[in-house]
Chain A
Amino acid sequence: MTHRFRDLLALEPLTADELTFLLDQSKPFQEIQKHSLKKLATLRGKTVALAFFENSTRTRISFGTAASRLGADTMNLQAEASSLKKGESLLDTVHTLNAMKPDCLVMRHAASGAADFVARNLDIPVINAGDGTHEHPSQGLLDALTIRERKGRIDNLNVTILGDIQHSRVARSNIHLLGKFGCRFTLCGPAMWVPRELEQIVPQGTSVRRVFNIEEALEGADVVLVLRVQAERLHEPALSANDYVLLYQLNSERLRRANRDAIVLHPGPMNRGIEISPEVADGPQSCVLEQVTNGIAVRMALLFLLITAHSEYEGTHPAGEAPQPRNRRATDIKDPSHASR
C-alpha cells in the first residue's frame, strides 16, 4: 500500500485499512525507542513548527522529541508568549510561522475545527494535536497501538470509557478509530458528561451503551479508558471531588468487574486519587507509561510520512510554480494517480 496522506486532521474520515497502515508504520519507530542511539538523520534539514495555542506539555514534548529523533529541527510557539495575546488573528499567526518555511505544522487549538481551517490555508502538511472537543488523532493512534501491543488485536473489544466524554477529543478519536474495528463501547460518567448525542458519532452498526453505574459499566470490559477530570469542570454536574471519587473513580475493587486481562489507559496528566486510584495507575493492568513511549513512535511515523510525501509533491513543481493551496477536506488524500508509479 502506498500512502496518500497529506494532513492528519482527524481519524473519523480514515478507513480501517488506512488506520492499520498508520499503526504498522509506527512499529519500526517503536524499535528505535529501544536502541541506545535513538537519533536518525532521515529528516535532517527539515523543520517542524509546533504551534500550541492551548497549553500542552506532554503532547508538545512528544512531538518535539519525535521530530528531533528523526533529525528535524523544531520551532516553538506557545500560547503565553504568542502574539495571539496581542490581538493577532490565528491565520496571521500561522502565515507568519509559515513564512519561516517549516516543512510541517503541528498545532493545538481550543476551537474545534481550527486545524482543519488552517490546513485549508497552508500548503504544508498540518497535524492536529488537539482541536477543542473535536479530535486528538495522534492520541487515538497511540492508544490503539498500545492496545494492539498488549491485547494482540484491536478488533471486537469491549471498551469502557470513564469520565467527561462530552468534552473529550481523546474519547472521540478513540471511538472513531476503534469503532471501525468493531469494538463495542460503554460510556460512563455523570449524565451531563455522557449525552445521548454521543451515540450518533459512531459509524452505523457500532454498539454504544450509556451506563451511569461504574460497576455495571466495567462488567466484561477488555479496555478501560479513563479520562482526566478537569477540576474546573466539576461544577457542571455539581459534584465535589469526593463525590466523583465515590461514584466514578476507577479503583482496584471496581476494576475486578472487568475481564481479568483488561488493560487501563489514561491520556494523562492523571489526577491520582480522583479519576484513578494509585493502585490502578501503578498496577500491572495500567499502560500509561507505554502510552507515552508509543506516542513518540506514532508521532515519528506521522512526521516521516507527511513530510516525505510533501517533499516529493513539492519536487514535482519547479520553484516559482509552487502549487496553490487547495481547498482541502479534513485529512485530504492526494490523488492516487499522482502517488503511485
Chain B
Amino acid sequence: MRIVEKAQLMSAPEIDRTLQRLAHEIVEKSGGTKHLALIGIRRRGVPLAERIAFAMRGIDGVEVPVGTLDITLYRDDLSKVASHAVLQSSDIPFGVDNMDLVLVDDVLYTGRTIRAAMNGLFDLGRPKRVSLCVLIDRGHREMPIEAQFTGRVVQTSNTEIIEVRLREVDSEERVVLVDRMDG
C-alpha cells in the first residue's frame, strides 16, 4: 500500500484566513461572549482552538477561555486501538456549568470523536450549549452530528485521508488530501 498525495486543500495563509472567519462567525452567532469558551480536542483541535481564541481577541478584545480535552477514555473502539491509547491530560481550567462551549477539531468524519468528546464534557458538568467548529468536514457521518462552524466542506472517498498539518504539531502548515493506493 502506498500513500499518495492527491491535492493540497489549504495553504498556510488559507488556514489562517479560515480561522479568522470562523472566529468572527462564532462571536457573531453566540450573541455575547460572556459565557463562551473553546474546547480543543486533542491533538490538532488544541492549537486550532488557541488560534481562534487569539483571533477573537483581535475582534473586540474578547478574551475567551480555552480548554483541552483528551477523548481516549471515551472512545468506543478502545479494544482496537489499545496500543495507541496513550492518555493525555484534559485541561479545562473553568467550570462548564451553564457555559456556551464550542468544541474545536481539525476534521469531522464519522462523528464518533465528537460523540466521545460530548460524553467527556458532560462528565464535567452541564453546559448550556455545545456547538462544534471544524476546519474540514469530509462527510461519511456515522452519528447524527453536524458542525455549526465549518472551514470547508470536502467531498472524499472512504480510502482518502485528510491530513491537517499544523506548525505547532507538524513540521509544516497546510491541509492535504492523500489516498491509499494498492501496489
Name A residues whose Cβ lies closer than 8 Å to a Cβ of B.
1-4, 25, 27-29, 31, 35-37, 40-42, 301, 304, 308-309, 311-312, 314-315, 339-341
Contact = CB atoms under 8 A, between A and B. Distances in A.
Nearest to B84: A2
Give the interface centre of B73, B119, B124 by most chain A CB atoms within 10 Å: B73
B87 interface: yes
B90 interface: yes
23 contacts: A3-B83, A3-B86, A4-B83, A25-B87, A28-B70, A28-B73, A28-B88, A28-B90, A29-B87, A37-B124, A40-B73, A40-B74, A42-B73, A42-B78, A304-B73, A308-B79, A308-B82, A311-B82, A312-B80, A312-B81, A314-B79, A315-B79, A341-B84
Contacts of B78: 42, 308, 311
B63 to A, nearest CB: 24
Contacts of B83: 2-4, 309, 312, 339-341
Interface string B79-105: 111111111111000000000000000
Task: List 3 A-B pairs, minimum CB-CB distance, nearest first.
Answer: A311-B79, A308-B82, A312-B82
Interface in B30-67: none
Interface residues of B, number: 21
A314 B124 CA distance: 33
Given A29-B87, A36-B125, A308-B85, 14 more contacts: A2-B86, A3-B83, A3-B86, A25-B86, A28-B73, A28-B90, A41-B74, A301-B87, A308-B79, A311-B78, A311-B79, A312-B82, A312-B83, A341-B83
Contacts of A41: 74, 119
